[in-house]
Amino acid sequence: MTSPIRRILIVDDHDAIRRGLRQLLEGTHYYQVVGEAADGKTALELAITTRPDIAIIDFTLPLINGVDLSKALIRKLPRIEVLMYTMHAQENLINDVFRAGVRAFVLKSDPATNVIAALDALSVHRPYFSVPISDKLLDQLVASKPSSEVSILTDRERQVVQQVAEGYTNREIAPRLGISLKTVETHRANAMHKLGTRTPADLVRYALRNNMIQP
């Protein structure tokens, strides 16, 4: 019996990565790329229109990062599967990714065959972790380390912090997130209090440390 064609959305802010993934998938007969996006906001809008079966997402994305994008996609499209495809493998990032509902994680340093293996697993709603990620998960289980500082922020606080770190003012952030200026100021103040930060530069350093933005 012929396998059904799975519709794929590729989300990465590097054109070379998107192009490489598209070429990889075009070499198969059962995966069809239905869209590409270079930032989280565009990806979410595109996903609602194209309704992909699987989204391949980088963690570090402009406007909406990979964790918050994954949460939004899964909330709006409950049957979608997400493959996190990134160069980052810190334990705190892995924890946040899986809390977001992501069920597959492949590093960009892994062989391309791992991407296909992950997509094959997600196509039948099974999880897939490349070996380095599996090892880290096992290490976490053994060590039982506490959750990361990223987890102490709410989704909206994290979104505001990312926008601040990307250089936007409170007044610019409000329409970008669809909330009032006062709400932005409240989320920003709450995030800074939780993180023990005092200046925008502190938020930038925090965002860089947690791979929310690129240096």
Higher pLDDT, 23 or 1: 23
Out of 28-37, 122-131, 133-142, 156-165, least confident range: 133-142
Distance CA 31, CA 211 (A): 30
What's the average model confidence in pLDDT over 129-153?
A: 57
Q: How many CA atoms lie within 13 A of 71 on its CB side?
A: 14
The chain-wide mean pLDDT, for the chain, equals: 84
What's the average model confidence in pLDDT over 163-191?
A: 89
pLDDT of residue 136: 54
Task: Confirm whether pTM is higher than 0.75.
Answer: no
CATH superfamily of 6-143: Response regulator (3.40.50.2300)
Q: How many CB atoms within 10 Å of residue 140?
A: 13
The continuous run of DSSP H or E covering 83 comes out as strand 81-86
What's the average model confidence in pLDDT over 60-75?
A: 92
What's the average model confidence in pLDDT over 162-182?
A: 88
**CATH topology assigned to domain 153-209:** Arc Repressor Mutant, subunit A (1.10.10)
pLDDT of residue 203: 81
Distance CA 71, CA 60 (A): 15
43: amino acid identity, one letter: A
**What ranges do the domains of the chain cover?**
6-143, 153-209
pLDDT tens-digit map of 116-134: 999 999 998 888 887 656 5
